[in-house]
Amino acid sequence: MWKQRQGNNCNNPTMAPYTITYFPVRGRCAAMKIMLSDLGQEWKENLVNFEEWMKGDLKGTCVFGQLPKFQDGDLVLFQSNAILRHLARKHGAYGKDDKEAALIDMMNDGVEDLRLKYARLIYQEYETGKSQYLKDLPDHLSKFEAVLAKNKSGFLVGDKISFADYSLFDVLYNHTVLCSTCLDSFPALKSFVEKMSARPKIKALLECEAYKKLPINGNGKQ
Ligand code: 6SG
């Protein structure tokens, strides 16, 4: 049986409607925790360490053999982006109509592309690929910069925050840890990260000890 951590200072999991099961890292759960916090939602957390995971019992019950696992009552979900979308539908972070929802999906897919490049660097090429990665990064960032600079609301799509904003914020935050100056020539991205970090419930999560002590990535690289 894996360890269940009920109560972690970051939120009050008593009666929480949601349960997140994941490794003790921020990784694929950071965006959903940022989103849940900002939306004023509570969750319980089950932390699964490497040894427990390697036993394989839990893995065998996961649809794709991977975590995170997300439970909302009797609904059990895998795939972090499907989880973000489910929460966005439930809590009004998926645009005002179908057109906005389509644009939000498009932006989130763009964020996912960058997230996968980042994950490849962190997990496969950190020692050999970092300088080339940082050379290529402005080209990727400039696309998000253009979208944010055009939309006066400060969000990716429409007038309201959406799950794509939480996801972009998470990926940008990780990149500022990778390279503290990487947003310097992107004023809209810089201001986006500052504003998202300053939203009170996001700020509280980012400053909470239990969250801070989780490494960003599973191999300790950042
Ligand atoms: C890894 O990739 O931490 N899930 C990961 N790995 C374990 O056996 N497309 C989906 C999604 O969006 C991707 C899921 C994701 O939800 S996250 C998973 O389940 C497996 O495949 C990144 C991460 N990796 C660290 C890690 C996991 C197992 C071995 C290394 C944490 C560190 C040590 C044990 C637990 Fe570990």
Which residues 6+ apart lie within 8 Å of 49 measured at CB?
A: 2, 3, 23, 24
Tell me the per-residue pLDDT of 1-19, one tens digit each, with 9 for 90 and over.
354 444 455 777 777 899 9
pLDDT at 16: 85
Distance CA 46, CA 161 (A): 28
- Answer yes or no: is pLDDT of 173 > 60: yes
pLDDT at 5: 47
Q: Which atom of ligand 1 is nearest to the CA of 24?
A: 31
At residue 74, φ and ψ (nearest 5 deg) are -90, 5
> In one letter, which amino acid is 142?
S
98-199 carries CATH number 3.10.20.600? no
What is this structure's pTM?
0.95
Tokens read off for 116: 């996968």
In the block, tokens 């400060």 appear at 154
pLDDT at 108: 99
Q: CA 115, 69, 101: angle at the middle one, nearest 5?
A: 55
* Nearest to 68, CA basis, from 3, 17, 118, 20: 20
5-93+205-213 carries CATH number 3.90.650.10? no
Tell me the per-residue pLDDT of 26-81, one tens digit each, with 9 for 90 and over.
999 999 999 999 999 999 999 999 999 999 999 999 999 999 999 999 999 999 99
Average pLDDT score over residue span 20-24:
98
Distance CA 32, CA 132 (A): 30
Instruction: Say yes or no: CB of residue 32 within 6 Å of ligand 1.
Output: no
> In one letter, which amino acid is 90?
K
Q: Which atom of ligand 1 is nearest to the CA of 123?
A: 24
CB 166 within 8 A of CB 34: yes
Q: How far is the CA of 66 from the centre of ligand 1 (A)?
A: 6
Instruction: Say yes or no: CB of residue 30 within 6 Å of ligand 1.
Output: no
Whole-Å CA distances, 13 to 4, 37, 42, 45, 48: 12, 12, 6, 8, 18
Distance CA 31, CA 64 (A): 20
Ligand 1 atom 21: residue of nearest CA: 66
Mean pLDDT estimate for the chain: 95
Average pLDDT score over residue span 183-199:
98
- Burial class from Cβ neighbours inside 10 Å (0-12, 13-18, 19+) for residue 207 reads exposed
Q: How far is the CA of 100 from the centre of ligand 1 (A)?
A: 31
Q: How far is the CA of 198 from the centre of ligand 1 (A)?
A: 29
Distance CA 34, CA 32 (A): 5
CB 207 within 8 A of CB 16: no
pLDDT at 138: 98
Domain residue extents for the chain: 5-93+205-213, 98-199
Ligand 1 atom 23: residue of nearest CA: 218
